[in-house]
Amino acid sequence: MPEQLRKWSLTSGIVVKHMHYGLRVQVPSGEIGVVDRVDIADGYIEPADWPTVGAVLTVVGGGYAGRQVRLSTRPCHLEEARNRAARGRQAASGAKGDSPNS
* pTM for this predicted structure: 0.84
Task: Examine the pLDDT at 44 and tell me if it is beyond 80.
Answer: yes
Task: Examine the pLDDT at 98 and tell me if it is beyond 70.
Answer: no
b (16+ CB within 10 A) / e for 30-60:
ebbbbbbbebbbeeeeeeeebbeeeeebebb
Q: What is the pLDDT of residues 54-89, one digit of tens each?
A: 999 999 999 999 989 999 999 999 999 999 999 988
Mean of pLDDT values over 28-41:
96
Task: Examine the pLDDT at 99 and tell me if it is beyond 70.
Answer: no
pLDDT band for position 102 (cuts 50, 70, 90): very low
